[in-house]
Homo-oligomer: A and B are copies of this chain.
C-alpha cells in the first residue's frame, strides 16, 4: 500500500464524570503541566457554568497531552458514546481516508467512519491490541473529492 504521510500523535485522556477540569488541575499540581490551549463545547460554554472540555492541551516537560470530557455528539455527558473513557491517541494525517484504510488493511477495526467533526475530518479505529487511534486531518476543513 502506498505511503501515507502521518505527522505524529498526541495521547488523549478522556475523563468520565465531567472531571476533565479536575484532571487538568491535577496535572498542573502533580507534574507542573502548562495549559497551552483549550477548546470547550460551544453550546455548553454559553449555557452552563461548567463548560464541557472538548480538548485541553497540556505540556509536561517537552511532551503534549490532550485532556477531554466524555460527551456524545449533542454535547451531553455520555461515557458510553466516548468509549467509556481512557487513553486514546490522536494521530494527525495529511489524508485521513488513506490513513484509515491503511490501518484497516493492517488489521485495525473501524470504530467510527471518517466524518467532519469539530471542523476537521476525523475517523476512529481500534487496533488489534485494544488501542484507539483518532485519525484527524491537519488544517483541512472539508473533505477533498475522491480521486
Contact = CB atoms under 8 A, between A and B. Distances in A.
Interface residues on chain A, size class: 35 or more
A3 B61 CA distance: 12
A79 interface: no
Contacts of A9: 60-61, 63, 65
Contacts of A87: 11, 86-87, 131
Given A3-B32, A13-B129, A26 B62 contact: no
A92 B23 contact: no
A108 B31 CA distance: 11
A110 interface: no
Contact of A103 (B31, B91, B133): B31
